[in-house]
Amino acid sequence: MAKQISRQICKTLFSFFLFVILLSDTALSVGKSINLKKPCKHFLFHLHNVAYDSDNTANATSATVINPLGLGNFDFGKFIIFDNPVTLDENYLSKPVARAQGFFFYNKKTTYNAWMAFTLVFNSTQHKGTMTIMDANPTMEPTRDLAIVGGTGDFLMTRGIVTFTTDLVQGNKYFRVKMDIKLYECY
Ligand SMILES: *[C@@H]1O[C@H](CO)[C@@H](O)[C@H](O)[C@H]1NC(C)=O
Ligand SMILES: *[C@@H]1O[C@H](CO)[C@@H](O)[C@H](O)[C@H]1NC(C)=O
């Protein structure tokens, strides 16, 4: 009789622990899911690109390094390297909060498509670290989402989305892009 009771207790305990394990596993997977409406960090920045045009050496922040001619009307093959200032407001002369360092190239013959890979480098009292962005940027679309694929320092191992909106284009000399940054993984 006593043996039977202790066996029953064992069984109950076992199923209780199984239940706890299952429950904690569910809790963990719920914790890992990402709420796209609630980024863990959110920033609004403006990126300024001053193209080098042979008479603005002092102010240029980007340079075309390859420019094959004759491949259609959308700059196919053009390759640009940049070290652009990133500011909190739209003013090009405002104190930069970060630099955007990287490159893009045009890789579509039917429309403008700038494929980009660059790093936002932060080195201020507010933020130290990097966020790396890599994606297609179909520049004629009103807004474009690009993937934030990682980071270091204050943005260690981050992931997220940056939404680009072109603010202003002045011929081939200057453009300004609004960057709406939403991070979904913060550590
Ligand atoms: C650089 O930019 C400043 C401010 O826009 C302007 O006053 C200056 O003439 C520019 N210098 C060159 C070399 O383009
Ligand atoms: C960051 O800023 C500090 C202080 O101005 C400077 O000493 C350091 O070289 C900078 N680091 C980078 C990577 O630019």
Same domain, 4 and 65: no
Predicted pLDDT at 36: 85
Number of domains in the chain: 2
Same domain, 139 and 106: yes
166 vs 26, more confident: 166
How far apart (Å, rounded) are the C-alpha atoms in residues 172 and 49? 10
Among all bound ligands, the one having the nearest atom to the CA of 119 is 2
Closest CA to 77 of 115, 50, 48, 118: 115
Residue nearest to atom 6 of ligand 1 (CA): 59
- The pLDDT tens digits for 66-125 are 999 889 999 999 999 999 999 999 999 999 999 999 999 999 999 999 999 999 999 999
Q: What range does the domain containing 53 cover?
A: 41-185
Predicted pLDDT at 8: 67
Probe residue for ligand 1, chosen from 59, 90, 91 as the CB with the greatest number of ligand atoms within 8 Å? 59
How far apart (Å, rounded) are the C-alpha atoms in residues 4 and 8? 6
Predicted pLDDT at 69: 87
How far apart (Å, rounded) are the C-alpha atoms in residues 80 and 49? 11
| Other Cβ atoms closer than 10 A to 135 | 17
Same domain, 85 and 143: yes
Residue nearest to atom 2 of ligand 1 (CA): 59
Same domain, 115 and 27: no
How far apart (Å, rounded) are the C-alpha atoms in residues 26 and 175? 48
Predicted pLDDT at 3: 58
pTM above 0.85, yes or no: no
Alpha carbon distances (Å) from 59 to 5, 63, 121: 85, 11, 19
Same domain, 52 and 91: yes
- Give the Å distance between the CA of 10 and the centre of ligand 2: 63
Same domain, 21 and 45: no
- Give the Å distance between the CA of 59 and the centre of ligand 1: 6
Which residues are CB-neighbours of 24 under 8 A, at least 6 positions away? none
Same domain, 82 and 165: yes
Closest ligand 1 atom to residue 59 Cα is: 1
Structural contact between residues 46 and 87, judged by C-beta atoms closer than 8 angstroms: yes
Identify the band that residue 31 occupies on the pLDDT scale cut at 50, 70 and 90.
Answer: low
Structural contact between residues 183 and 177, judged by C-beta atoms closer than 8 angstroms: no
Strand partners, 150: 132
Same domain, 16 and 47: no
Residue 171 maps to which CATH number? 2.40.480.10
How far apart (Å, rounded) are the C-alpha atoms in residues 165 and 133? 15
Same domain, 28 and 61: no
Same domain, 12 and 79: no
Q: What are phi and psi of 9, to 5 degrees?
A: -60, -45
Same domain, 110 and 23: no
Same domain, 96 and 170: yes
